[in-house]
Structures are given as structure tokens and as C-alpha cells.
Structure 1
Amino acid sequence: MPGLYFQDFEVGQRFDHEWTRTVTEMDNVLFSTLTMNVQPLHLDAHFSAQTEFRKPIVNSLFTLGLVIGMTVNDTTFRTTIANLGMGDTRFPNPVFAGDTIHVKTEVLSKRESKSRPEAGIIEFEHTGYNQDGKVICACKRAALMHKRPAQA
């Protein structure tokens, strides 16, 4: 089932994505090591125990990828041409192994592509929350989206 096409989005449209995901220690360790991020805040329990967090925090780039990924089924599955950029990304609260994440999305803007008549640009704001309702990630994302194919 495809996601939404450019024409299906409206400015101000909101999505409360039903998917949830509990983050595991393995998620954090694998992502951090695969991306060669050896920051002890993510990987070293002894080091982390001496910080204000008292335990390892989840790599913020994993958190960002998870938050955006959890929106795909409702919005852009098979209808995105490309991500054009991400900006104004914030991580106001840490994520820890065992936290369960859910996401909401708002459509901030839409416009026709100037160079590709079969496409348009949608700007989303994705906001991730933990199980306590605290914002753990917010990001604005611009996506180049297919327009609905013409009926033959």
C-alpha cells in the first residue's frame, strides 16, 4: 500500500502515528558501533554511571532515524523521491534503553517543484515522545514527493 502523494497532503494536517517502539540496549550499541561513534555516554555503563544521566543514553542519531522511520507507513511509503534536508533538530530529553517511543507529524508547508513537474515538496515536523509524554526529538524535514500518477 503506497503512502500519500503530494496532492494528498494539506498544510496543518496532523498524524498521530500508531506505531510504537521500545528502544533496546542492543539498538544503541549496534548503531553506535556501526557508525564508529565510540562516545562512552552511549557505550560505557561505568562511565555513564558517573554522569548526570547515571546510565548510558541512546545515540541521538539513532533516535532521529527511529522518529522519522516511524512516520513512513502513514505518510511517505513508496511515494518519496528523496529527502531534501532536515533542520531545526532538537533532543530536549534523553532516551534510555527501555523507553518506548511514539511519534506525531504535522505538515508545515507544501509547494510544487520548480524543476520537476511530476513532484512537489512537503515540509514535515516530526516529534517523538517517550512513554511519559516527554519530547525526546523534534525535526523539520523536507521531502520531494511524487504526485499522484495521471489516470490512463
Structure 2
Amino acid sequence: ICISVNDITVGTTVANLGMKETVFPHPVFHGDTVRVETTVISVRESRSKPDRGIVEFEHRAYNQHGDLVAKCTRQAMMLKKAA
């Protein structure tokens, strides 16, 4: 699941605020090919930091057979894009 973190949020993540609902429904074996999908679930303004927002992501990882091998929900404090 951390594969997607480097692809989509490096340089904009100020802090990871936590992960929940983490599951590993199928094993991963040496030689497997893993792909990751990420969905933004929610976005809100930070109440204390006007230049930041809180984003909730759902990360899902699949093996080469399409089996879900990992899933979690992550909240992160992100820098806001300049207007």
C-alpha cells in the first residue's frame, strides 16, 4: 500500500494522521506482481492550519490474479494548492 504513497503524495504530505480498517485478505508470495489503486474518499479544510487540508484515502493492492491482497483507509494532512 505504501507503493501508492510515493506515487501520489510525496512532497505534499505534511503528516500521516493514521490508518484504519487495514486488512490482508490474501497472501502475497515471492514473485507476485502487485498493483495498487487509490481512491480519495473525503477532503476537508484543516481547522487549525489554513494552508493545509485533511484527505482520506482508500488504498487497495491486488496481485497478478486480481485478488485483493491488502486494503486500508489512510488520513493525511496535505499542503493545499495555491489559489
What is the TM-score when the length of structure 1 is the normalising length? 0.52
For the residue of structure 2 that corresponds to 1:127, the secondary structure is strand
Q: Which has the higher strand share?
A: 2
Q: What is the match of residue 92 of structure 1? A: 25
The residue identity in structure 1 corresponding to 2:66 is G
Determine the C-alpha separation between the residues in 1 that align with 2:23 and 2:7.
23
State the percentage of identical aligned residues: 54
Q: What is the match of residue 79 of structure 1? A: 12
Determine the C-alpha separation between the residues in 2 that align with 1:130 and 1:99.
6
Tell me the number of residue pairs that the alignment of Structure 1 and Structure 2 aligns. Answer: 83
Residue 74 of structure 1 deviates from its aligned partner by: 3.8
Matched, 1:149 2:76: no
Q: Of 91, 105, 108, which residue of structure 1 is paired with 2:38?
A: 105
Q: Of 128, 141, 149, which residue of structure 1 is paired with 2:61?
A: 128
What is the TM-score when the length of structure 2 is the normalising length? 0.93
Structure 1 or 2, whichever has the larger Rg, is: 1
Q: Which has the higher helix share?
A: 1
Residue 72 of structure 1 deviates from its aligned partner by: 2.8
Q: What is the match of residue 72 of structure 2? A: 139
Determine the C-alpha separation between the residues in 2 that align with 1:95 and 1:75.
23
Q: Which runs of 4+ in 1 moved over 4 A?
A: none
> Which residues of structure 2 form unaligned runs of 5+?
none
Determine the C-alpha separation between the residues in 1 that align with 2:6 and 2:24.
23
> Which residues of structure 1 form unaligned runs of 5+?
1-66
